[in-house]
Amino acid sequence: ASDIERFLAAFCTRREAVVEAARKLLSDEQAPRRQKLLADLIHNLNENILAEDREQDKKWFEGLESRFKNKSSYMRYSCESRIRSYMKEVSSFTSSVHPTARDAYKRIIDLMSDKLKSVKYNGCYFDRREEEAVRLCTTEGWFSCQGPFDRDDCPCKHSINPYSNRESRILFSTWNLDHIIEKKRAVVPELAEAVKTRDGREVNWEYFYQLLFTVDNLKLVHIACHKKTNHNLSCDKTKIYRKRKQNHKIS
């Protein structure tokens, strides 16, 4: 093993001793940079990551409603809230849809809403108890930044565990579920236009649903990797319409 591996192993096996030594150093330290390093070390080594219930980690739940009995239920709620907010934006666009297409647009919203309810607003993305295939974190609750919309990975290797402590839980709220093909600039206007110009064709609402609410088009990104510039990406024109089916007709 390398020196750094032995160093990290010592940290894990002698955590309490390291914390105590760091506290003693911090009490006499005057240099801000060294203070920050020691404070972060103490903070990180004191995490209660594996605790799940409120009684096991009361500090984590400070400021949260009493209805949240465990960490995973709150994290699910956190993800659901983000997805619900996207649905509200899609719905609020109704007034901008051409009057002749508004009813059809509303019917698509209803179909999307029903689908979201059936999958519990994809709260599984933030729930560490879920199957690996549907969650965005490890079993311990570690999330990794997936990088800017125009990159395959995160150049800074950002990571966070909102299950670890209250501060990380709060910081995680600044991470963004970023739409690769932008929701406001591209997806929603394209959906409205598709409904308006369908001319007897059936709008493929499930394609738009995937772009708006699923990881097919969502990337979890650290605030520093969230580029707010125009992505200049558009919907796939070949997927906007589909052959008519007997069910769920949009006419």
Query: What pLDDT was estimated at residue 247?
Result: 54
**Domain-located, residue 64:** no
- The predicted pLDDT at position 10 comes to 73
Q: Which of 12-16, 39-43, 204-208 is the least confident region?
A: 12-16
pTM for the structure as a whole = 0.85
Domain count across the chain: 2
From start to end of 95-243, where are the E strands? 143-144, 159-160, 176-179, 202-203, 218-221, 241-242
**Domain assignment present for 237:** no
Amino acid at 109: I
Task: State the pLDDT at residue 244.
Answer: 64
Nearest CA-CA partner of 198 in 97, 113, 110, 111: 97
Q: Look up the domain containing 218 and give its range.
A: 71-225
- On whether both 108 and 210 belong to a single domain, the answer is yes
pLDDT band at 245 (very low <50, low <70, confident <90, very high): low
Nearest CA to 147 out of 93, 74, 247, 223 is that of 223
Domain end point (choices 29, 46, 63): 46
- For residue 250, give both structure tokens: 């949009």
Structure confidence at residue 28 (pLDDT): 84
3-state SS, 120-140, equals HHHHHHHCCCCCCCCCCECCC
- Region 97-104: mean pLDDT is 96
Residue type, 134: V
- For the segment 134-154, the average pLDDT, to the nearest whole number, is 97
Q: What is the mean pLDDT of residues 186-215?
A: 97
Split at pLDDT 50, 70, 90, the class of 2 is confident
Is residue 60 included in any domain, yes or no? no
